């Protein structure tokens, strides 16, 4: 009887969370799934058309263009951000003078709101009077049109993504604090050099944190929207930065093809789900859990 009362009390305390989950996540997801099989423009009642949205989607050239651009950026941004965050965390984990200042300095970029950040980068990479090209002129180099050349537009987004790795860096720092010191002491007794200690002690013990950040990086990288949307209106130049999320936004809120946009959303959801499961599957053999 007592256990039953405790269970009821527990469910009551958790009820607000379950209600919020149902209202703000589960119900919108189910609605989006239903709308993806409908011709729906918000202004009219949804009309069931079956798989027509999905068939049209896989025949849409812009769908493949936006998907390619998104994957191209994510393929470089996710590993680059992971490596940069890990390297910074390992450097900042050492006891050096001004350690708190350096940690704050490298974490600050991740706190800058997305819109001001995009405006800042537009100023930095301006072809005529941007800071980057002005610095290049000082050494006799004519800087390119970073924001107007298809060959440089994607690298700008990748650099911007790698620049804001402060959140991942903090998580790596927390993980490094949990690496048992006696493992390093044993490695020292065996005559291991710094690279051997990193490879055989640090990375294996940090592997669960690396897996977590990689999964979060995949999810975030494939849903990148604000900075490209502001920096490169309409996917300019030459659709080289026309990302999947930008195309979805235009279909939903400009063309008012909400059913089509819902189908796009569910396709991206399935892509992220598959990639996440693949990452977790790979991690089963390569991730070391202490005490496991």
Of 67, 159, 167, 169, nearest in space to 118 by CA: 159
H helical segments located in 190-233: 194-197, 203-222, 226-231
* Each residue's pLDDT tens digit, 85-124: 999 999 998 877 888 888 888 898 888 888 888 998 999 9
State percent of the chain over pLDDT 70: 99
Backbone angles phi, psi at 38, to 5 degrees: -125, 155
Contact indicator for 279, 72 with CB cutoff of 8 Å: no
Torsion angle, alpha carbons of 229, 231, 237, 240, to 10: -50
pLDDT band, very low/low/confident/very high, at 290 (cuts 50, 70, 90):
low
Q: Rounded to whole angstroms, how far apart are CA atoms 131 and 206?
A: 38
* Higher per-residue confidence, 128 vs 276: 276
Residue 291: the pLDDT is 54
Q: Rounded to whole angstroms, how far apart are CA atoms 279 and 247?
A: 26
Residue 69: the pLDDT is 96
Contact indicator for 135, 248 with CB cutoff of 8 Å: no
How far is C-alpha 251 from the chain's CA centre? 22
Min mean pLDDT across 88-97, 131-140, 152-161, 208-217 is at 88-97
DSSP conformational letter for 108: G
* Higher per-residue confidence, 287 vs 65: 65
* Each residue's pLDDT tens digit, 26-71: 999 999 999 999 999 888 899 999 999 999 999 999 999 999 999 9
């Amino acid at each position: 009887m007592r256990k039953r009362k405790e269970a009821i009390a527990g469910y009551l305390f958790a009820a607000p969370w379950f209600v919020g989950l149902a209202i703000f996540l589960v119900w919108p997801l189910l609605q989006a799934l239903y709308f993806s099989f409908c011709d729906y423009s918000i202004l009219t009642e949804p009309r069931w058309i079956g798989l027509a949205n999905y068939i049209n989607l896989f025949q849409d050239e812009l769908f493949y263009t936006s998907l390619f651009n998104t994957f191209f950026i994510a393929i470089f941004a996710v590993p680059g951000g992971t490596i940069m965050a890990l390297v910074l965390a390992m450097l900042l984990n050492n006891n050096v003078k001004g350690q708190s200042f350096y940690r704050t300095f490298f974490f600050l970029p991740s706190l800058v709101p997305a819109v001001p950040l995009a405006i800042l980068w537009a100023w930095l990479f301006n072809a005529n009077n941007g800071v980057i090209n002005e610095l290049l002129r000082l050494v006799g180099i004519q800087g390119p049109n970073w924001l107007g050349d298809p060959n440089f537009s994607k690298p700008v987004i990748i650099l911007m993504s790698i620049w804001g790795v402060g959140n991942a860096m903090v998580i790596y720092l927390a993980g490094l604090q949990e690496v048992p010191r006696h493992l390093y002491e044993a490695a020292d007794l065996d005559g291991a050099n710094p690279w051997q200690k990193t490879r055989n002690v640090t990375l294996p013990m940090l592997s669960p944190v690396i897996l977590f950040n990689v999964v979060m990086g995949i999810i975030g990288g494939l849903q990148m929207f604000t900075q490209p949307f502001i920096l490169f209106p309409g996917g300019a130049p030459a659709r080289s930065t026309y990302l999947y999320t930008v195309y979805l936004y235009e279909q939903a809120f400009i063309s008012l093809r909400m059913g089509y946009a819902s189908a796009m959303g569910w396709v991206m959801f399935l892509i992220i789900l598959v990639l996440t499961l693949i990452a977790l599957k790979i991690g089963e053999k390569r991730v070391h859990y202490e005490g496991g």
